[in-house]
Amino acid sequence: MAARLSLLALASATFAVGIVLGLGILLPGRPRPNVQTAAVVPPYAALYLEVLTRPHGTEGDLARRVLAQELGGPPLQRLGPALAKAIAPGAGLDYARDVRPWLGGRVGLFYLALAGARSHPTLLIASRRDAQARIVLARAGTAVAAYRGTQYRLRRDGAAVAIVDHVVVVGPEPGVRAAIDASHDGSLSDTDAYRFEVSALERSRLGLGYLDVGRAAAAIPDGLLPASLRRVLVERLAGSHPSPLVGALTAAPGALVLDLQSSASQLSVGAPPPVAGGAISKAGSSAPVATAAPQASRLPVVSTLPSDTVVGIGVESIGAVLAGAFDSTGQPPGVAQGVSALRDRLGRALGLSPSRDLFPWMHDAALMVRAPRHGDAALVVTSLDPSASARAARALRAALSPLLVLPRRERLVLATSRAAALDALSAPVRLAARREFDVAVSALGSAFTQLGFVDAAALRQRSHGVLRALFDHVAAIVLATKGHHDRVTFALR
């Protein structure tokens, strides 16, 4: 579960770059000649994003209406100049005069790496009139270089611009050269993994994203997580031959929808292990993990959080999920060692055995972080065995001080303040009552389990860069899952 949530959060943040960068240039009209920007993306790219500039049909019309309402006018008029500036900063390009006449059907970008010196994006713009595009690129820089028979220009800021197979390429020189290599030696779109994963995406999409899971895992910075946890996450996410994670962007009334999926079984939360006789047993555990019959009328966990929640996470059947996460049986040696170390470290810190004293009684869990002015948080776990959770509370109270640990019948609360604990137990107004939450949840569709919520409006002032640009237009984000299929909805402001 930790690996799945980490990957889902990372993918959502990185794919959001495409929403900010590309959707602002949606134009009316039929698509032009089908130039594929993925055809110049190197097969070893860590991340690739693309959007259609002229999506047609009802999906395209809906996207243009949604964005025009959000931006206060046609997307082109508001965000088109940003594309012109990205091509040649300071050259005084006019989007309508200098770029739109040759703009093709796709705009994309790729990253060679997600961390380090090569973690800078390379912009890709499909061209339908190379001669006109070449005139514009001449204004980007006067220095000319060549690589494998393709000329490119160097801007004063060190970036390079070129036309490669009817695609205008703008970015750091290594990125432009990588695009030239891809045109000669084979590109991302030529790989079996790309073709297989992308073929399963929604065909009426506005855009797509492709994330190399192994490279994303390797980009997790040292020191961000305890070494043992980072090792487990990296090895579980990367594996020996990880499948990529792909995403499709579509539109819904008042919202944008990002569907994420992967054929890799290691990325799936899946259902709890099969139940035999009403209980399941995990290796290394001296007690069965109790399970409860599903309740069709049960309100989704995230929906029950207080209405002023800024970040919320909900996990159903968390005891079974954690029991599986901490089971080292059958894992590769490196992962098994890391899992065992984490389990032992957790047990020592809490003064109890997680497999015996925690996981068996834990059912659903919800974590809330309140508005910045409160600065508090609470975790509520429903209990399948109140007596066992009350015993665990006594050990947790000693181990986690000064956190409050409050057992309440079939629920246990860990909180930073009494007010947070009481609100988490019985919020006078729940998250489900908020309009932006309802919009985001409505865009999910059926059969999805809510995993998380982000109040983008509340975090806007504390954000920078692409997240600030995203939060300028997004009110709320909901993350959900269904088997191997994840969905993220962005309720627009």
pLDDT of residue 80: 74
427 or 169, which is more confident?
169
Place 31 in a pLDDT band, splitting at 50, 70 and 90: very low
Least confident of 170-174, 220-224, 388-392: 220-224
pTM: predicted TM-score of the whole model, two decimal places: 0.75
Residues 146-157 have pLDDT tens digits of 999 999 999 999
For the chain, the average pLDDT equals 79
For 11-30, write each residue's pLDDT tens digit: 555 555 455 444 444 444 44
Is a pLDDT exceeding 90 seen at residue 124? yes
Q: Which residue has the higher pLDDT, 72 or 110?
A: 110
Most confident of 74-83, 188-197, 239-248: 188-197
Predicted confidence band of residue 427 (pLDDT cuts 50, 70, 90): confident
Going from N- to C-terminal start, the domains of the chain cover: 2-249, 269-433
Higher pLDDT, 144 or 73: 144
Using CA atoms, how far apart are residues 140 and 160, in angstroms rounded to an integer?
A: 9
What's the pLDDT tens digit per position in 259-313?
888 775 433 333 333 333 233 333 333 344 444 433 333 456 888 899 999 999 9
Q: What is the pLDDT of residue 284?
A: 36
The residues, any chain, with a CB within 8 Å of residue 423's CB and separated by 6 or more, are 306, 378
For residues 354 and 351, give the distance between their C-alpha atoms in angstroms, rounded to a whole number.
9
Convert the pLDDT of each residue in 329-362 to its tens digit: 877 777 788 888 888 889 999 999 999 999 999 9
State which of 63-67, 266-270, 373-377 shows the largest mean pLDDT: 373-377
